[in-house]
Amino acid sequence: MKNLFTGLFETTDQLSEQDAKRGSRLLIMDGVCATGMGALAGGPFLAAFALAIGASNYEIGMLATIGLLSQLMQLPGLALINFFPKRRAIVTLFAGASRLLWLFIVLIPLLFVNRGMTFLLQWFLISALVGAAAGPAWNSLLRDIVPKESFGRVFAQRMAMGTVLALGLTLGGGWFVDRWKAVSPDTALYAYSCLFGVGIVFGVLATIAVSRLPEPTMKRNADTSLLDLIVDPVKDANFRKLLVFLAFWSFAVNMAGPFFVIYMLQRIGISLSLVTLLTVASQMANLLFLKVWGKLADRYSCKSVLAVSGPLFLVSVLAWCFTTMPERYFFTIPLLFAIHALSGIGLAGVNISAAGIALKLSPSEKAHGYMTVFGLVGALAGACGPLMSGLLADFFAARELGLSLNWSDPARQLSVHAVDLKALDFVFLIAFVVGMFAMRRLAAVKEEGEVPHDKVLGELLDQVFMPFRMVSSVEGLRNRVAQPVASLLRATRKRREKEAPGPPA
């Protein structure tokens, strides 16, 4: 045990090829296990648990806001790594403690059910604050372990294997909770405690993987102060443009994302089993496209992947506005599956490319500072999203916008709802608009390795449509689908370039 503890503080001047391979394997193991914990101790299960103990929509939004605002702890984390540059030890101790603190949430149904939501918010906040402090050390360690040319491949494999595990855990967890409710409805909360407990086990395994990572000695500039580490990324004109994009993107995504599960459970009125099945559909689509996006990110640039995958996700957000007309209808369930599939495809590219472009634009010796600022900007902007959503949802709760198509003849009258927006529908629409504005700001960012847009777009479309080649043996059918889409995207891009003013300095 003593050797294991002291080994956390040992570093090496340079990683060997064997160390690099071992590091990649351990990073993948960490990603798989961390995703497993996230699948069981987050997503639909955390939201459903909060609803079961009496959470309001505002308190659901608070859970999302806590997770984001806790990223402010990256500032103390940055000071810690600047003073004590033992990154593996910092990540192991803080991430491990954060995951173990979930034991108090597991005990809520047994000991604190009368004040369940208060205790959930309290311990969720403490866990998030402790875990966020490890952020700068983790980002810096990743930057030194994973070579630039392998970012896409390593992150895609890490996410793909984690998604495979999450598929089974999410589907099995939804079935488990519904079966428990059917057999013993009075003790249904204990089902969530069981899921969270298994999630903690996965979190501990992820922490063990991190503790065994090889750690190169951290490069530091003795003349760089903590203030410089925070200010330098903002002074960097190109990185500043990335931060502007991130702020609007994070705000848009977090306006909508925390309320998808609530919308399905309350507004549409489907079961938790179906919610988890939809989540699995999204994860399967995510899994199918991770390799595609990863290859493209390595071959061209993360920005090119983000420029295509981002709008795909935003279209899925907009589509939520049409799942009720004004209530659930015959096309609701098929549309929900389409939304989740499109969301999974888009998020696969976004998750690979967003962190990748930030890491690539970060100087090696200042990566922890750059990535800390990147995380803080995303967190602060994102934290405003759920709060704004709550205000907007309350404002639009008593308001409705409808558009109907009417037909009448001597024998009958026919009326069809074309658009019907109320409450959260308006929130999703506003999130889509803000997200599209963010994509316009991304165009100003420069990344090494960029090639002409037409070439990238053609290759992206070819790779994106590749999984569907098995659908038809007629190659011409694929071309008829892909070519009009390519032409439309090219025309839209050229029109925006002509209309848009020059990017800010």
Sequential DSSP letters for 91-114: HHHHHHHHHHTHHHHHTHHHH-GG
Which pLDDT value is given to residue 505?
36
Which residues does residue 407 pair with via DSSP β-bridges, in sequence order? 414
Token pair 């990335």 in the structure block, residue: 242
Q: Please give the chain's pLDDT, 505 residues, in tens.
A: 445 555 676 767 677 777 777 877 888 888 889 989 988 887 788 888 888 888 776 777 778 778 777 878 878 887 888 778 788 888 899 999 999 999 999 888 887 767 778 888 889 999 999 998 888 888 778 777 776 666 667 777 777 788 788 888 888 888 898 888 888 888 888 899 999 999 999 999 999 998 888 887 777 655 566 677 778 888 888 888 889 998 999 899 888 877 787 788 878 888 878 888 888 888 888 878 877 777 777 777 778 788 888 888 899 998 888 888 767 777 888 889 999 988 888 888 888 788 778 877 877 677 677 877 888 888 888 888 877 877 777 677 667 676 666 776 677 777 666 666 777 788 888 999 999 999 888 888 887 766 555 555 566 566 655 554 544 444 444 455 445 545 555 555 555 555 444 444 3
Structure token pair of residue 213 = 């990572």
SS (H, E, C) 316-348: HHHHHHHCCCCCCCCCHHHHHHHHHHHHHHHHH
Which pLDDT value is given to residue 471?
45
Asked if residue 87 lies in contact with residue 217, where contact means CB atoms within 8 angstroms, the answer is: no
Indicate if the alpha-carbon torsion angle 4, 37, 96, 145 is positive or negative. Answer: positive
Which pLDDT value is given to residue 472?
46
Query: Of 249, 279, 275, 278, which is closest to residue 262 (Cα–Cα)?
Result: 275
- pLDDT tens across 441-462, in order? 888 888 776 655 555 556 656 6
> Cα–Cα distance between 505 and 503 in angstroms, integer?
7
Which pLDDT value is given to residue 466?
55
Sequential DSSP letters for 154-223: HHHHHHHHHHHHHHHHHHHHHHHHHHHHHH-GGGTHHHHHHHHHHHHHHHHHHHHHHHT---BPPP--TT
Which pLDDT value is given to residue 127?
92
Backbone torsions φ then ψ of 234, nearest 5 degrees: -75, -30
Token pair 């061209």 in the structure block, residue: 300
Query: Of 69, 76, 83, which is closest to residue 133 (Cα–Cα)?
Result: 76
Taken in order of first residue, the domains within the chain and their CATH numbers are 15-396 (1.20.1250.20)
Asked if residue 11 lies in contact with residue 220, where contact means CB atoms within 8 angstroms, the answer is: no
- Cα–Cα distance list, 123 to 1, 58, 100, 253, 492 (Å): 29, 18, 11, 25, 47
Query: Of 121, 82, 83, 129, which is closest to residue 105 (Cα–Cα)?
Result: 121
Structure token pair of residue 398 = 């008593």
Quote the pTM value: 0.67
Backbone torsions φ then ψ of 417, nearest 5 degrees: -75, 120
